Structure 1
Amino acid sequence: MGVSMETAEVWIERWERQQQHYAVAREERFTVIGDVVEHITTGRPRPLLLDLGCGPGSLAARLAARLPDAGIVAVDMDPLLLELGRTHHADTARFVDAVIGEADWTDVLALEGPLDAVVSSTALHYLSERTLLRTYRSLFALLRPGGALVNGDHFTLDDRRCADLTAMVGRRRAERSRTREHEDWRSWWAAAAEDPELADLFAQREKRRAASGNHDGNDNDLPLACHVELLRAAGFAHVTPVWQYGDSHVLVALKD
């Protein structure tokens, strides 16, 4: 059920381009996440990182290039994206198939020790509030003292007028960044479904999505303030956004 390196390279390159439709200032966000992780892991000879909702390994690959001595565990539930990542980024991370937030999901990670940092980018917004709190608590338990959870995502604000303003700024930035060559999410998946080499993985993905009731586009719509409250309830004493462009933020939670 594996894919060739050539096929993985083609689809990951197309993935990188289509993601520019959704992640405002994506490369800058990745850089800021790397800044935080590098700061948190200073002096650690082989930091251990967990990438949540890793997809085909976009963030993991950037962190591996910046922190070559780090051990990275990348987790996702999508079999097709995981296989693309395993093939194209074989030396970047250990890719794990797991459903974030399910009971005992952290057991399958087979971690070698406490985590130095947990990272995520536009991946946790589909979890319900209850599941998100449970996930934050499990991650708090996995982190070493002084470790951090670093989440880059689009967060609304409680104030509706401010939320409208930040969304507009982000939308304008995204529009300026696009070219006619950029696919969107739906067109990428539609094209991938037509590739014979991905057929088995695509069928497995569709079967899993149907069984779980998960559909693309689901969003918990939780505002930034709610994420901060949930992180504090999970045990994180220090929570702050460290970067913002429009409604795109990098939110950091520190464990004492």
Structure 2
Amino acid sequence: MLLALVGVFGLAVGSFLNVVISRVPRGESVVRPASRCPGCGSPIRAWQNIPVVSWLLLRGRCRSCREPISVQYPLVELVTAVLFVLVVVRLDWTWSVPVYLYLTAIGVALLVIDLQTHRLPNAIVLPSYPVVAVLIGLAGWGEGDGTALIRALVGAAVLFGAYFAMALAYPGGMGFGDVKLAGLLGAGLGYLGWGELAVGGFSAFLLGGIFSIGLLLLKRAGRKSGIPFGPWMIAGAAVGFAAGGALFDAYLGLI
């Protein structure tokens, strides 16, 4: 029952993330005006805002003008709900759950925005620093784990510093949006453990490299093609969160 409630909460958050994804890149408020059809401007009524269900009932079209409604909307809602449940399953009911639910939510929004615009908006990333700092501080206090707080600080500093150095060395290949996101991901991974930090940081380059090589082999991109790296940073962090400790221990066992 509790996991089902988490899933419902994730659907609601996913619905809000659709607003964030649509408006933040354009510099618009996520609060006002109320949601409207981008085609005809008709206000979206309350029953039309029920996550996933409304899209299915409307058959993916605006009730007024019949313009198609992107499948992105229910997908973002569903993915957010599933990820929220997986976060709770991974961590159980601990003080650190709010940290990773928040990072999951902004991760979903940033991933979609970066794919669409090749940007990681400061309006999402920068305010997340104090939010994550407070949530991690509360988690460390509640769990009585000062060492985890130190790891979070070190993780943020290490990933931020590494990405900052890469951005300076190769400005065309690494943006400062990636640098700012790296600090947040480093804090979250570091709080969990050194293995999660190492695997999460490395997985971003591994996954991004495999994808880039695949595009080159398929001739869908050239050596100078711009490929957003934020989604791979987020995917790598997800790998570190889900299995970083076990993978790191297995690697140490091999050597």
Could you say which TM-score interval applies, normalised by the shorter chain? under 0.3
- With a CA cutoff of 8 Å and minimum separation of 6, indicate the structure with the bigger relative contact order: 1
Answer 1 or 2: which has greater helix percent: 2
Answer 1 or 2: which has greater strand percent: 1
Q: TM-score, normalised by structure 1?
A: 0.27
Q: TM-score, normalised by structure 2?
A: 0.27
